[in-house]
Structure 1
Amino acid sequence: MPRYLISFDDGSMDHIAEADLPAVSADSRAVVGDAKAAGVWIWGGGILRQRASIVGTDGSVADGPDPETKRALGGFAILEVASHEEALEWAARIAVACRCAQEVREIGYDPES
């Protein structure tokens, strides 16, 4: 079955009032629980706001751009579902729970992974 990356950008949840965060967390955990119960959840989580490290093809390491100056990933879920339409249905549930838009992309299949 295909796997999908469902993600949102860093800062996408900044509009949520601090008082509302416990409800957002509970709603998000409920969707994750439903995805696990349905057997479609592979893995996911939020990504801490920080500067990325960039490792070059020669092995050199450099600091990446500040998160404020470049679009960065804020959180993601990887689901294994039967179709793109089913991935969109889960993304819609995640969007409602997280109170932010979600991007959906199919992950390329690699039989060696």
Structure 2
Amino acid sequence: MTKYLISFPSSAMVVSDAELPAVADAAHEVLRQAKDAGVWVFGGGIDESIPPVMVDADGTVTEGTYPETARIEGGYAVLELPTPEEATRWAAKFAAACRCPQEVRAFMYDPES
């Protein structure tokens, strides 16, 4: 089976502060459904209050990130699914819960993963 990344940037979720608890409840319900279905691998939201750092091979830590990834934020779910169509079905559930479109990407197969 293939692992799929289902995600959205923070800017895509345009809901009022009053709506956030309902959105969180709906997203957690989809998460529980994925766990119950045995397809959940990992997920969560990026804590945007903690800035990213770069770590070099010698352990040197530098604040910042690659310019191409400076805007990685938002919510992510990794599901292990048999088909791309199944990934889009789960993405639709997350889109309904989070009230914003979801991006779907497939991870390359790695026999060690």
> TM tier, shorter chain?
0.7 to 0.9
Q: Deviations over 1:21-74 (max 9, x none)?
A: 111011111111111111111111111113210123454321115xxxx42231
CA distance in 2, matches of 1:94, 1:9: 13
Normalising by structure 1, report the TM-score.
Answer: 0.86
Identity %: 50
Give the equivalent residue in structure 1 for 2:34. 35
Aligned residues of 1:10 and 1:71 also touching (Cα < 8 A): no
CA distance in 1, matches of 2:95, 2:64: 28
SS in 1 for 2:18: helix
2:4 aligned with 1:4: yes
Structure 2's unaligned 5+ residue stretches are none
Structure 1's unaligned 5+ residue stretches are none
CA distance in 1, matches of 2:56, 2:101: 31
Give the equivalent residue in structure 1 for 2:107. 107
The offset of 1:11, in angstroms, is 3.0
Normalising by structure 2, report the TM-score.
Answer: 0.86
Equivalences, count = 108
The two structures, once aligned, show a CA RMSD in angstroms of 1.5
User: Which residue identity does 2:24 align to in structure 1?
Assistant: S
CA distance in 1, matches of 2:20, 2:83: 31
The offset of 1:12, in angstroms, is 2.6
User: Which residue identity does 1:79 align to in structure 2?
Assistant: L
